[in-house]
Amino acid sequence: MIGDDKVAEIRERTDIAALVGEYVSLKRVGASFRGLCPFHSEKSPSFYVHPARQFFHCFGCQASGDVFKFVMQLEGRTFPEALRQLADRAGVELPKEDARENEGVRREKQKRERLTSITDTAAGFYMRMLEEHPHAGIARAELEKRRMEKETVATYRLGYAPHAWDALAKHLATRGFSPQEAEEAGVIVPRKTGDGHYDRFRHRLMFPITDVHGRIVAFSGRALDLPEGEKASGDPPAKYVNSPEGPLYKKGEGLFGLHEARVELRREGVAVLCEGNFDVLAVHQAGIRHVVAPLGTAFTANQAKLLRRYVARVVLLFDGDKAGRKATRAAYPLLREVGLPAQVVALPQGEDPDSFTRGRGADGLKQLVQTATPVVDYLIEAEATEAGNDPGMRAQAIEALGPVLASVESPVERGLYVERVAQAFQVNNLESVRQQLNRGVRAARGRPNPQANARRLEAPAPAPVEAIPTNRLRPADLNQIPGVERDLVGCFLDQPLVFGQARAEKVLTLLTSHEMEAILLAALRLSGVSGTFDAPSLFVEIEREGVGPGPARRWLEERLALQTFDAENTESFLESALPLLRRQQIEREQRELMRRIQEALREGETERASDLMKLRDELFRAAGALQRAKR
């Protein structure tokens, strides 16, 4: 385990404004910096970074936290990963963990680094070959045909694997990589007979595949037309060849374009999912940068989980044909399983994103993405249209919809969809529709796939009433906290030294809100030593005081992002606010006394009533003194 002090040290030595500035352009406003939020889409900036408080906050989407949180959210890292990354950046040495385990981890890490330096070298070689190799014109012509711009080609680091048996193998050898290592990295293959290796990718357009850290873990190579005068030998080559599974790469994990899209995915909160690599390039080039694709396989559960780390919604942009619909049907339950709502962009029959943008331009595609329809609605309509009037086809189409509907969580929603299927296919008998859908569910269960746990489409049962916990404390409505209390605590946060310990302690006794009291107490304690405090420590402290997530915590996050009091207006504010707080307290006490006096009189306890009246008179005098002092 890495201690809190190390965490604090790394935080301390990381300039949060510089870190954020690597992703977002920031402008100084007072004590903070402001820019466009990387976590949601916006036109005017509401994202603030307060360097002294080591804290960021967005007023638009409420994203909030310290340097670790920023890296975790933006790069999709776990806390230990973010910790390591920022430790490296800040030059803080982390303690060696358990020696034996650490040795294994260290060796694993070294090996990974060695292998990714091979893939990186290979990518550089392919990129150079795209410019230089005599046959690369064929690859460039393919890119031109698809109107790929230089910038796009560079962003995704596309390259050309030469038309030769061992061009890469030789190049890697000159760089000091052994054939065994290069084989493990997946870029060369041992000869079946005799010694030696040959290049896995030959005469192909190369797409590097990166992991979430931006390191190349695999390649996807697309077949190209043969150079003039050469004859094809044997079967035509596969359209795509991918790296084999190995230490770097597991099939069905990772997404093409994820690293390039990661910041925009966060910002938009939605991923556009395409089928192929060229689709991703075309959509990216059309100005939609939050786009990814599965890697030459069908979309997998692991890829759905990966996307969940970045976005809250997915738009499927698959081909407008039968295969595209099948892919949509298959992807839907996987997305549903990880809680990602999905919509579909319906491309015209026979079009793919690549051809569509070439024909209708970027704006046409953008428009289409904006008008995406929910997956289930889309599938019902599309299948009904496709099935036409043939009864057999119609029955089959309804059956195919079974697993899709079965993955709809809510029984009510499910029931409504059953009705919609009946309407779309013009079947009057709801029960027979349900039976047909259930056949599809059973058939899907027989197949080994993630739909195995699909629910049966029974008639909708009344939704169970969830037990509502009775003694859970509701967070106080922020409006119940008097404004002057919030202002005073905020003022202390901005100017702890001008405000001063003595006045703060006085205010502590007058606050009516437990949350404000906890915040002030924590800030007072933290600033007592150095006169300043940072936001992460403050959050830890107030949590100790029992202030969990809720309106008060949210208020604090917003309040910390901005600094409204300077040394000058602090004094004048305190002059009016402190007596006001005191007066409010007196008024509360007066009301309480009146209530008790009336109670005593009702019960005939005149002696107690007259004691209470004396107290009340004293309070009136105190209030009068306050009033005079004010004048």
Q: Quick check: 39 binds Zn ion (CB under 5 A)?
A: yes
Please state the closest distance from residue 565 (CB atom) to Zn ion, in A: 25
- Nearest residue (CB) to Zn ion, 185 versus 311: 311
- Which amino acid is located at 418 in the chain? V
Nearest in space to 19 (alpha carbons), one of 30, 29, 33: 33
Helix (H) or strand (E) holding 344: strand 342-344
- Nearest residue (CB) to Zn ion, 61 versus 90: 61
- Burial pattern 436-471, b for ≥16 Cβ within 10 A else e, equals bbbebbeebbeeeebbeebeebeeeeeeeeeeeeee
DSSP 293: B
Q: Which stretch binds Zn ion (CB under 5 A): 37-45, 96-104, 275-283, 617-625?
A: 37-45
Contact 310, 271 (CB under 8 A): yes
Please give the full DSSP string across 32-89, using - where no structure is assigned: EEEE--SSS--SS--EEEETTTTEEEETTT--EE-HHHHHHHHHT--HHHHHHHHHHH
Question: Which residues 335-364 are close enough to bind Zn ion by CB under 5 A?
Answer: none
Of 61, 301, 330, 593, the one binding Zn ion (CB under 5 A) is 61
Of 26, 58, 67, 521, the one binding Zn ion (CB under 5 A) is 58
Q: Quick check: 40 binds Zn ion (CB under 5 A)?
A: yes
- Nearest residue (CB) to Zn ion, 185 versus 561: 561
Q: Quick check: 397 binds Zn ion (CB under 5 A)?
A: no
Q: How far apart are CA 254 and CA 294, in angstroms?
A: 7
Of 6, 15, 23, 60, the one binding Zn ion (CB under 5 A) is 60
Please state the closest distance from residue 376 (CB atom) to Zn ion, in A: 30
Of 37, 158, 314, 597, the one binding Zn ion (CB under 5 A) is 37
Region of residue 547 (phi > 0: left; psi between -120 and 50: alpha; otherwise: beta):
beta
The token pair at 106 is 């260290």
Q: Which stretch binds Zn ion (CB under 5 A): 35-43, 280-288, 407-415, 510-518?
A: 35-43
Q: Across the strands, what pairs with 602?
A: none
- Nearest residue (CB) to Zn ion, 62 versus 297: 62
- Nearest residue (CB) to Zn ion, 47 versus 125: 47
Q: How far apart are CA 311 and CA 288, in angstroms?
A: 15
Sheet holding 64-65, edge to edge: 27-29, 32-35, 47-50, 55-58, 64-65
The token pair at 290 is 């939050």
C-alpha count within 13 angstroms, C-beta hemisphere, residue 113: 6
- Which amino acid is located at 530 in the chain? S
Q: How far apart are CA 20 and CA 609, in angstroms?
A: 64
Please state the closest distance from residue 264 (CB atom) to Zn ion, in A: 14
Please state the closest distance from residue 564 (CB atom) to Zn ion, in A: 21
- Nearest residue (CB) to Zn ion, 61 versus 623: 61
Q: Quick check: 266 binds Zn ion (CB under 5 A)?
A: no
Please state the closest distance from residue 557 (CB atom) to Zn ion, in A: 12
With contacts defined by CB under 5 A, how many residues of the chain interact with Zn ion?
7
Please state the closest distance from residue 42 (CB atom) to Zn ion, in A: 7
- Nearest residue (CB) to Zn ion, 49 versus 408: 49
- Nearest residue (CB) to Zn ion, 41 versus 590: 41
Please state the closest distance from residue 57 (CB atom) to Zn ion, in A: 9
- Nearest residue (CB) to Zn ion, 58 versus 437: 58
Q: Which stretch binds Zn ion (CB under 5 A): 48-56, 57-65, 76-84, 297-305?
A: 57-65
DSSP 611: H
Q: Quick check: 434 binds Zn ion (CB under 5 A)?
A: no
Please state the closest distance from residue 374 (CB atom) to Zn ion, in A: 25
Please state the closest distance from residue 474 (CB atom) to Zn ion, in A: 27
Using CB under 5 A, list all residues that contact Zn ion.
37, 39-40, 58, 60-61, 63
